[in-house]
Amino acid sequence: MPTVKDESDARGGAQPPVTAGLLRIVDRRGDPPGRGAVNRERFIRRFKDDIKRAADEEFGKRSITDVGRGGRISIPGRGLAEPRLRHDEETGSRDFILPGNREYLPGDSISRPRGGGESGADGEEAGSGEGSDSFAFVLSREEFLSLFFDDLELPNLERTRFGEMSMERMRRGGYSREGLPSNLLPSMTVRMGIARRIALRGAIAENIEELEREIEDAEGQEQAALLEEIERLRARREALPFLEDVDRRYRARVPTAAPATRAVMLCLMDVSGSMDERKKDLAKRFFALLYLFLERKYGHVEVVFVRHTETAEEVDEERFFNDPQTGGTLVYPALELALRIIRTRFAGPDWNVYIAQASDGDCTTEDGHKSAAFVSQELLPLVRYFAYIDIPSSSGWFNRASDLWQSYDAIEGPAFARRAVHDRSDIWPVFRELFARKQAA
Amino acid sequence: MAATDSDSDSAKQRPWPKLLTKPTVPMPRPGLVRRAEPIATGTEWTLGTLEKFDRAIAAHAAKLGLDTYPIQYELITANQMLDLCSTVGMPIHYAHWSFGKQLLSQEHGYRKGMTGLAYEIVINTNPAIAYLMETNTLALQVLVMAHAGYGHNAFFKSNYLFRQFTQADAILDYLQFARSFVQECEEQHGWREVEAILDCCHALAPYGVDRYRRPARLSVKRERARLNERLRFAERHYNPNFAHLHLNDGAGSGTEAATTFDPQENLLYFIEKHAPKLHAWQRELVRIVRKVSQYFYPQRLTKVANEGAATFWHYTLLNELYDAGEVDDGFMLEWLSNHGDVVAQPAFDSRSFNGMNPYALGFSIFRDIRRICEEPTDEDRQWFPSLAGSSWQEAIQFAMSNFKDDSLIEQYLSPKVMRDMRLFMMHDGEEDREHYLVRAIHNEAGYTKVRQTLAAQYRSEAYLPTIVVARANDDAERALLLQHRVENGRMLETHSAETILGYIKQLWKFDVVLEEVDGEGRRLKIHRT
């Protein structure tokens, strides 16, 4: 496939063409992509509702690790037709020509094709999309995700925006008379020098004029003294220093509030014996979705995995999901470990901390109460959002809320949310519900 | 279905030569004595080799008297080609969702491998711009250069429609203006408003052309000046109490216009000038769509002639290259296979039949003109007495310059081409909706009928129902009356008529009525919004 052009040949081609000005080959391959993207976006904007519905459906069919990828979408073709005025083929009479006659003689008749899809040479596909089935196309990853998260909003984003949970950043702001040499602004300094000299020269000139008026009335020694004074002033006026300390100007930096932009997501999961593969899979889906969502908002998201049985430990993703453990369940140590991790590694106002906890809800009453208290007193003040996903056992003959769920009844606050997930199809609705953009309260 | 012996005469002389789905193309004769070494062999190309080929083609074109605009080739990627195709081949265009739809469907087809890419796009500008896609092989690049860079280019430069109706050197500037204007409107009035107007205009674009009058020259400077004047006028004269008096943009009062109303065929022009309630910027949008539609009008009328000429010229020029020894046998076989696909005409009953292929028909006609000039038979002398034996270059040049599709067919479709393509004429009438009746085939009795019918088929009235503005503004209702003259009893399809009326109403803002009248002016049917 000819793609790379050879340097020597390109030069060879630069000889003067046979007919001057007749030939130009312009290589446009490097041009930035332009219009295509604009028109594409127009299309998506116009059919957003249809496309979103299709994207949601598509999501239901997909495995969550593929959610982030773009993909084929097909939407109903009805709104897409660009209508044109047509003749009704069932009326009137017309003659037309067809090619490829194999056997017919004048006077023969041919049965008329059904559906009116036939066309003479008028090259008009009947209906051109009118009432046609569906329109399929491929969405890019970006487009897919932006549709996907379209009406979702990060919880408490408002607070961040108005500075309450924000960090301070130094920003350029005006000039100052003091500062580090590296921040000196030479042009500004010289300009201040010019201004100072103009101002002083004017003041001195006024003095001189006044003295000259006095000379006219004065006599003898007095006059000589005045003349001397005038000379002194003139000399001073000429000798005004080019730059003085007061002229110096520096770039000033002022502290301003800026939203925190770094994010960390802590995944807490119970990996005790009662958490089977199905439950872990559901948890994983939820975590993956949250990750995608945060990544889109923040660009880069740190992920920390904490698993617990009776004890808690931080592990990598592989072991988090795939390393089976046995043992009982204590939630409290995991929460404690999470707090330790936040304090040591993600402290400070520039971190947005999100915690997602997944569990089947088995725990002792004492552990549950302790945990709930810990969450509301220690963790909630530090995090942006704490989401608890309850994955009850599928053997649903006892249809009551889990122990941990009951314990967590005690927690209150806008940063805390919990939902129960029973099935794969619940994940997306629950996620949407948790992160749906709140109407202005 | 067996043929009935209704006409014993024609049955006796069943004229069944071999059915050709592709026009006859003599293959290169191997072992021909070469005058020169090939310029390049193989499939690889470089800018240098392309330039050499262009020079060689230019030399042959000059020898054959081909007159072209200067050419600028632009080398682009497949993605850029997709972009181009989505905006009707123009490198600049205003933004609209329909282009996005085009792009998405083409891209989808292309990625799935269902469709190939158009590999030749040429723009009627001065200099002409021809696009070369980087994934083409050497033979294809040279084919595109000859086809687009010389064939289409020469057609654009010589054909009377293009000379008369489009200004090759002004369109890109105008589109640039259109794009920035649409963008400004979107910023000022919101994209929904702008899109609504553009949607309406796009639906009416076929009715936005002057078919017989030469349009004024496009000039961005003048357009800007005129636009500013229009906007300034609106501003200066704006008085909330009397605003309604100025909305009509200077059009004469309705009553006086009614008495002397000439039917108007340019619907968009009429709307731009006379729609009672459009704002200045909306009128400008109507104007832009109208101007663009006008630019493409000659292209719609010359599909067969244009593609036929371009195909004829690439075929001729590449054969000249071969005869001069500048390309080798492999090169010929590669592009001929491609050429064969382009000019294939599937039979009407074949699965891949999708109407007449303009490449096939046009190429056959132009090739036959040359054949008639060079090797006329007795039949040709009888049918084309002035053509037989004359200079083929002049004959081709004349055919390129002075005809559009229907007149080209009417003038030049020869019995041989009708036989080769086995054209036959069908009748679809009210008396029998179950069957088509074969009226004429490729025999002595049928040639003239077939030729005339095919020509009529390419008149725009045949595929685009005509509507004219019959009356407007003649009463307090300000209704717009449109008329469709019914020919051969062919009525308008109701659903499409109502949809289109809806669009017109969005622009006109008052009632719009479309009546269908027969030759005597009797009203047959009426569509309302």
Distances A59 to A56, A142, A241 between C-alpha atoms, Å: 5, 15, 75
Give the burial class of B18: count Cβ atoms within 10 A of its Cβ; 0-12 exposed, 13-18 middle, 19 or more buried.
Answer: exposed
Q: In DSSP terms, which residues pair with A167 in a beta bridge?
A: A258
DSSP secondary structure letter of residue A249:
-
Q: DSSP state, A377?
A: I
Q: What are phi and psi of A98, to 5 degrees?
A: -125, 150
Which of 235-254 (B) contact A at CB < 8 A?
Answer: none
Predicted pLDDT of residue A193: 93
Q: Do A97 and B454 touch (CB under 8 A)?
A: yes
How much is the pLDDT for B178? 92
Half-sphere exposure of B467 (CA within 13 A, CB side): 31
- Classified as helix, coil or strand, B171 is helix
Residues of chain B with Cβ-Cβ distance to A87 below 8 Å are 465, 490-493
Taking one residue from A and the other from B, the number of pairs with CB-CB distance under 8 angstroms is 347
The Cα–Cα gap between A21 and B362 comes to 31
Q: Tell me the CB-side half-sphere exposure of residue B369, using CA atoms within 13 A.
A: 26
Q: Which residues contact B409 (CB under 8 A, 6 or more apart)?
A: B304, B361, B365, B451, B454, B455, B458
DSSP, res B264: B
The rounded distance, in Å, linking the Cα atoms of A264 and A222 is 84
Query: What one-character-per-residue DSSP string does A57-114 give?
Result: HHHHHS-GGGTTS-EEEEEESGGG------B-TTSS-EEEEES--SS--TT-EEEPPG
From residue A43, how far is each of A140, B82, B215 by CA, in Å? 14, 15, 32
Are A106 and B467 inside 8 Å of each other by CB? Answer: no
* Contact yes or no for A99 and B206 at CB 8 A: no
Distance to chain B for A418, nearest Cα, Å: 40
Distance of CA A175 to the CA centre of its chain: 34
Cα B32 to the chain's mean position, in Å?
40
User: Measured between CA atoms, how close is A154 to chain B, in angstroms?
Assistant: 28
Residue B4 and residue A107: Cβ atoms within 8 Å? yes
Q: Is B438 close to A104, i.e. CB distance below 8 A? A: yes
CA distances from A440 to A146, A166, A168 (A): 22, 21, 27
Query: Is residue B375 classed exposed, middle or buried when 0-12, 13-18 and 19+ CB atoms within 10 A define those classes?
Result: exposed
In a mutational test of the B interface, the residue from A89, A95, A104 whose CB has the highest number of chain B CBs within 10 Å is A95
Which of B44, B70, B489 lies at the smallest CB-CB distance from A93?
A: B489
Contacts B41 to A, Cβ<8 Å: none
Beta bridge partners of A74: A136
Show residues of chain B in contact with A42, CB under 8 Å: 95-97, 99-100, 195
B527 interaction partners in chain A (CB closer than 8 Å): none
H-helix or E-strand containing B10?
A: helix B8-12
Chunked into runs of 10 residues, chain B (529 residues) has average pLDDT values of 42 58 62 68 82 91 91 86 82 86 81 62 79 86 90 91 75 88 91 90 88 67 76 64 49 47 84 87 92 88 92 93 86 87 86 88 94 91 90 93 93 92 90 87 91 91 86 74 88 89 90 88 84
HEC per residue, B99-168 = HHHHHHHHHHHHHCCCCCCCCCCEECCCCEEEEEECCCCHHHHHHHHHHHHHHHHHHHHHCHHHHHHCCC
DSSP-derived 3-state class of residue A434? helix
H or E stretch including B470? strand B468-472
| Side-chain half-sphere exposure of B406, counting CA atoms within 13 A | 15
* Residue in A119, A130, A137 nearest the CB of B108: A137
| Cβ contacts of B257 within 8 Å, gap of 6 or more | B251, B472, B473, B474
Q: What is the residue-wise DSSP string for A168-184?
A: EEEEEEEEESS--GGGB
Q: Do B103 and A39 count as a contact with CB atoms less than 8 A apart?
A: yes
Look up the pTM and report it. 0.68
**CB pair distance less than 8 Å for B489 and A101:** no
Chain A CB within 8 Å of residue B327 CB: no
Please give the radius of gyration of chain A, using alpha carbons only, rounded to the nearest integer. 39
- With a CB cutoff of 8 Å and minimum separation 6, the contacts of B467 are A85, B207, B267, B482, B483, B484, B514
Neighbours of B5 (CB within 10 A): 12
B48 part of contact set with chain A, CB < 8 Å: yes
Q: Which of A10, A82, A99 sits opposite B98 (nearest CB)?
A: A82
List of chain B residues whose C-beta atoms are within 8 Å of the C-beta of residue A114? none
With CA atoms as reference, the chain A residue closest to B104 would be A137
pLDDT of residue B155: 93
Of B206, B349, B438, the CB nearest to A107: B438
* Among B1, B456, B496, beta carbon nearest to A85: B496
Which secondary structure element, helix H or strand E, spans residue B358, and what is its range?
Answer: helix B358-374
Q: Which candidate, B430, B381, B411, B461, places its Cα nearest to that of A93?
A: B430
What is the domain partition of chain A in residue ranges?
36-78+133-150, 181-253, 260-435
Interhelix angle for B405-412 vs B447-457, to 10°?
Answer: 170
| A23–B450 CB contact, under 8 Å | no
Whole-number pLDDT of residue A67: 60
CATH topology of domain A260-435: Rossmann fold (3.40.50)
Residue A285 near residue A423, CB atoms below 8 Å: no
Rounded-to-integer distance, Cα B220 and Cα B174, Å: 6
| A33/B440 CB distance under 8 A | no
Q: Which of B81, B131, B426, B504 to mutate to test the interface with A (most CBs of A within 10 A)?
A: B426
Q: CB neighbours of A57 closer than 8 A, spacing ≥ 6?
A: none
How many other C-beta atoms can be found within 10 angstroms of the C-beta atom of residue B406? 22
Strands B512-517 and B523-528: antiparallel
User: For position B304, what pLDDT does the model report?
Assistant: 93
Q: For B105, which of A5, A10, A135 is closest by C-beta distance?
A: A135
B217 φ, ψ (degrees, to nearest 5): -60, 140
Preferred mutation among A4, A74, A93, A108 to probe B, highest tally of B CBs within 10 A = A108
* Predicted ipTM > 0.90: no
Side-chain half-sphere exposure of A25, counting CA atoms within 13 A:
26
Cβ A384 vs Cβ A415: under 8 Å = yes
Q: What is the pLDDT of residues A166-188, one digit of tens each?
A: 456 677 888 888 888 888 999 99
- Asked if residues B325 and B37 have their Cβ atoms less than 8 Å apart, the reply is yes
Q: How would you class B305 by CB atoms within 10 Å of its CB: exposed for 0-12, middle for 13-18, buried for 19 or more?
A: buried
For A155, A181, A341, A360, B90, the CA distances from A415, given in Å and listed in that order, are 7, 47, 19, 21, 53
Q: Residue B38's closest CA among B324, B333, B336?
A: B324
341-370 in B: which are within 8 Å (CB) of A?
345-350, 353-356, 358, 361
Is A99–B422 a contact, with Cβ atoms under 8 angstroms apart? Answer: yes
Q: What is the largest CA-CA distance in chain A?
A: 140
Contact B496 A43 (CB under 8 A): no
Is the CB of B97 inside 8 Å of chain A's CB atoms?
yes
CB contact under 8 A, B424 and A104: yes
CA distance A188 to A174: 11
- Is A25 close to B75, i.e. CB distance below 8 A? yes
- The 3-state DSSP composition of chain A as helix, strand, coil percent (nearest 5) reads 45, 20, 35
Predicted pLDDT of residue B429 = 85
- Report CB contact under 8 Å: B43, A82: no
Which of B19, B438, B495 best tests the A interface by mutation, with the highest count of A CBs <10 A?
A: B438
Chain B residue with minimal CA distance to A114?
B434
State which residues of chain A have pLDDT below 70: 1-23, 33-35, 56, 59-70, 78, 114-133, 145-146, 148-169, 257-260, 296, 299, 394-400, 436-441
Within 8 A of B358 by CB-CB distance, chain A residues are 123
Q: Could you give the angle at which helices A35-46 and B97-111 cross, rounded to 10 degrees?
A: 100
Give every CB contact of residue B364 below 8 A, 6+ residues apart in sequence: B23, B308, B343, B417, B420, B421
